[in-house]
């Protein structure tokens, strides 16, 4: 099987878009991911899949915490920024507005929701690392925006999701 055939088949699976962030020794780093899954309610666990060649996996292990921001339909610029290859960790937010959680982990400002996680376990699978996090804090905003969706190599909207806020 050709890798492009696999990519095309998986491209038919619509996913939400999330950004994983961490703060390792005062250096912030974030990465756009589409592989985010709820694993367990008791204890509350999620998993994200990260390319093993990316520094994020090691930074999460060393910092012991990470956050996952679930992006809203107006946050494609944040997704694009954190998807750029070759970025280096920085001491503060660059280009994209962020905010700090009570756990000293950064998140994307105004994301639909975010979860702060303690690193639970990492398992190598093929060219990726499956990183499990125990959720220690979860925040959700109901502000009428819909989720940022990714399907067939592009951002999509779900018709009828956007709501009018009542005054």
**Overall pTM > 0.75:** yes
pLDDT, residue 158, reads 75
- CA-based nearest residue to 111, from 15, 11, 16: 16
pLDDT-derived band of residue 156, with 50, 70 and 90 as boundaries?
confident
pLDDT, residue 166, reads 45
- With residue 150 as reference, give the H or E element that holds it: strand 149-151
Q: How many CB atoms lie within 10 A of CB 104?
A: 11
Query: Are 67 and 21 in contact, with CB atoms under 8 Å apart?
Result: yes
Over the stretch 17-40, which tens digit does the pLDDT of each residue have? Answer: 999 999 999 999 999 997 999 999
What is the number of H-type helices and E-type strands within the chain? 3, 12
Q: What are the DSSP E strand ranges found in 1-148?
A: 15-16, 18-24, 27-33, 36-41, 44-51, 65-70, 98-100, 106-108, 113-125, 128-140
- CA-based nearest residue to 47, from 30, 59, 60: 60
Residue 141 has pLDDT above 70, yes or no: yes
Query: Are 105 and 60 in contact, with CB atoms under 8 Å apart?
Result: no
Query: Are 132 and 39 in contact, with CB atoms under 8 Å apart?
Result: yes
Q: Which domains are assigned to the chain? A: 16-143 (2.30.110.10)
Q: Which residues on neighbouring strands pair with residue 149, listed in sequence order?
A: 16, 156
pLDDT-derived band of residue 12, with 50, 70 and 90 as boundaries?
low
- CA-based nearest residue to 28, from 56, 52, 5: 56
Between vectors from CA 71 to CA 120 and to CA 69, what angle results, nearest 5°?
Answer: 25
pLDDT-derived band of residue 138, with 50, 70 and 90 as boundaries?
very high
Q: Could you tell me the two tokens for 37? A: 């899954």
d(CA 107, CA 100): 6
């Amino acid at each position: 099987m050709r890798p492009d055939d696999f990519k095309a088949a998986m491209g038919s699976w619509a996913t939400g878009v999330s950004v994983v962030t961490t703060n390792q020794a005062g250096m912030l780093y974030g990465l756009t991911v589409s592989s985010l899954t709820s694993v367990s309610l008791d204890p509350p666990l999620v998993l994200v899949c990260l390319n093993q060649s990316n520094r994020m996996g090691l930074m999460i292990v060393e910092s012991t915490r990470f956050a996952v921001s679930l992006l809203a339909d107006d946050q494609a610029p944040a997704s694009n920024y954190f998807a750029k290859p070759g970025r280096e960790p920085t001491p503060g937010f660059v280009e994209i507005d962020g905010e700090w959680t009570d756990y000293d982990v950064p998140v994307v400002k105004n994301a639909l929701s975010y979860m702060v996680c303690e690193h639970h376990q990492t398992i190598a699978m093929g060219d990726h690392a499956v990183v499990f996090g125990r959720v220690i804090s979860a925040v959700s905003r109901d502000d009428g925006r819909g989720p940022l969706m990714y399907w067939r190599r592009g951002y999509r909207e779900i018709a009828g999701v956007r709501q009018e806020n009542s005054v």
